[in-house]
């Protein structure tokens, strides 16, 4: 049985259409234009391409968007001052600092400096804490995107055995946390988290009704490690080469070709989780704009 492909590209398209209408309405009825700044330090090629895609999405949705490029050798102090400036800028509702940052800058200090009410990445400890106790807040974009994909693909999460591979602060931990919350329709699962200290990973992955893989290792999950009918969300983005035209060749953390023969549904790489991450950043920015305008919103 070949798996149904859960297309993040298609689901993203739907959500962006909905957001476009919402932005239009915010402008017409309330005179509010969602504002997003993306701050890029240096010119790491992957970061440049992520920031470019975020800016394009913001522009297409009719946001007020600012791309702020800073040199690789910007001091930590100057970067913190820049964040302070955007914290105080009423036209900006969302601040995104593209990670990773150069080694001489403490990422933690930078994340802490962002006003939690403009933290559209959902990385500030205030938002992380609220997420853990189930309060409204900015959810981190990749885990939020995964929740929305599961919901729109009609996957039954309530009561499911979910196995997450990876425990990073941006993917593994938050997605595990969100799925175990007593929340419908996407939540109330029994969640297991695997990592490099897990003794027998296949023992766990074979039990999964839903398997979410964010290990950052190409094809670390193979067909022998999953059961028939599993739903697979592959978060990994691994650059495994370049085409003669110089384009990156990508693959996920799951061996797509073999696993799709056993899975009921699977996300592709590219075109799976990636587009959803950017879309949820846009969603968070719209929610931030509503928050600052004193309108009902999902984050407060
Ligand atoms: P990360 O910070 O490197 O964390 C990887 C996690 O996987 C760690 O917890 C690590 O365990 C675990 N791990 C690594 N190899 C493993 C193995 N062989 N068996 C079991 N666990 C293993 O990575 P991340 O930031 O979460 O990202 C994961 C992947 O998702 C990357 O490919 C990244 O590019 C991709 N990503 C994609 C998007 C998107 O929008 N599509 C967004 C974010 C990330 P330890 O904790 O024990 O080291």
**What value does the mean pLDDT take over residues 127-132?**
98
pLDDT per residue over 212-249, tens digit each? 999 999 999 999 999 999 999 999 999 999 999 988 89
The protein residue whose alpha carbon is closest to atom 31 in ligand 1 is: 216
pTM above 0.85, yes or no: yes
- The Cα–Cα gap between 37 and 138 comes to 16
In a domain, 63, yes or no: yes
The pLDDT, as a whole number, for residue 2 is: 83
CA-wise closest residue to 60 among 98, 19, 90, 93:
19
Mean pLDDT of the chain: 97
Looking at the structure, do residues 41 and 75 belong to the same domain, yes or no?
yes
Q: How would you write 193-222 as a 3-class SS string?
A: EECCCCCCHHHHHCCCCEEEECCCCCCCEC
**What value does the mean pLDDT take over residues 90-102?**
98
Looking at the structure, do residues 266 and 165 belong to the same domain, yes or no?
yes
Looking at the structure, do residues 222 and 145 belong to the same domain, yes or no?
yes
Does 258 belong to an annotated binding site? no
67 is catalytic: no
54 is catalytic: yes
Q: Among 96, 195, 203, 277, which is best to mutate for testing ligand 1, by the most ligand atoms less than 8 A from CB?
A: 195
Q: Among 57, 164, 213, 214, which is best to mutate for testing ligand 1, by the most ligand atoms less than 8 A from CB?
A: 214
Instruction: Report the atom number in ligand 1 closest to the C-alpha of 238.
Output: 32
21 is catalytic: no
The protein residue whose alpha carbon is closest to atom 5 in ligand 1 is: 215
In a domain, 286, yes or no: no
- pLDDT at position 283 over 80: yes
Residue 235's domain comprises 141-275
Structure tokens at 185: 């329709």
In a domain, 93, yes or no: yes
The protein residue whose alpha carbon is closest to atom 17 in ligand 1 is: 196
pLDDT per residue over 34-77, tens digit each? 999 999 999 999 899 999 999 999 999 999 999 999 999 999 99
Does 237 belong to an annotated binding site? yes
Domain count for the chain, please give it. Answer: 2
- pLDDT at position 1 over 80: no
Looking at the structure, do residues 230 and 192 belong to the same domain, yes or no?
yes
The set of residues, in sequence order, having a beta carbon less than 8 Å from that of 157 and lying 6+ positions away, is 150, 179, 185, 186, 187, 188, 189, 210
% of residues, the chain, pLDDT over 70: 100
Looking at the structure, do residues 269 and 175 belong to the same domain, yes or no?
yes
Does 168 belong to an annotated binding site? yes
Q: Which residues line ligand 1 (CB under 6 A)?
A: 142, 165-168, 170-172, 194-198, 201, 214-217, 220, 235-238, 273-274, 277
Looking at the structure, do residues 115 and 171 belong to the same domain, yes or no?
no
In a domain, 298, yes or no: no
In a domain, 115, yes or no: yes
Supply the CATH number for residue 50's domain. 3.40.50.10860
């Amino acid at each position: 049985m070949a798996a149904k492909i859960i297309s993040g590209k298609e689901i993203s398209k739907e959500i962006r259409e909905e957001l476009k209408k919402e932005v239009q309405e915010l402008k017409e009825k309330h005179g509010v234009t969602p504002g997003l700044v993306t701050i890029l330090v240096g010119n790491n090629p992957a970061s440049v391409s992520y920031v470019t895609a975020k800016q394009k999405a913001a522009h297409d949705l009719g946001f007020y968007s600012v791309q702020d490029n800073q040199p690789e050798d910007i001091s930590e102090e100057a970067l913190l001052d820049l964040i302070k400036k955007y914290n105080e800028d009423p036209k900006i509702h969302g601040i995104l600092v593209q990670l990773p940052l150069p080694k001489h800058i403490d990422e933690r200090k930078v994340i802490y400096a962002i006003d939690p009410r403009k933290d559209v990445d959902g990385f500030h400890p205030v938002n992380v804490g609220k997420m853990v106790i189930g309060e409204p807040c900015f959810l981190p974009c990749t885990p939020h995107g995964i929740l929305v994909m599961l919901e729109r693909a009609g996957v039954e999460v309530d009561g499911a055995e979910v196995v997450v591979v990876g425990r990073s602060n941006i993917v593994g931990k938050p997605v595990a946390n969100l799925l175990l919350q007593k929340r419908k329709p996407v939540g109330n699962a029994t969640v297991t988290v695997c990592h490099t200290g897990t003794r027998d990973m296949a023992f766990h992955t074979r039990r999964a009704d839903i398997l979410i893989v964010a290990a950052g290792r190409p094809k670390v999950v193979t067909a022998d490690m999953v059961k028939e009918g599993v739903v697979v969300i592959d978060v990994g983005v691994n650059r495994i080469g370049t085409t003669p035209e110089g384009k990156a060749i990508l693959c996920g953390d799951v061996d797509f070709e073999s696993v799709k023969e056993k899975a009921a549904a699977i996300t592709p790489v590219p075109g799976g989780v990636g587009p959803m991450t950017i879309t949820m950043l846009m969603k968070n920015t719209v929610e931030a704009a509503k928050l600052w305008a004193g309108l009902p919103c999902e984050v407060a």
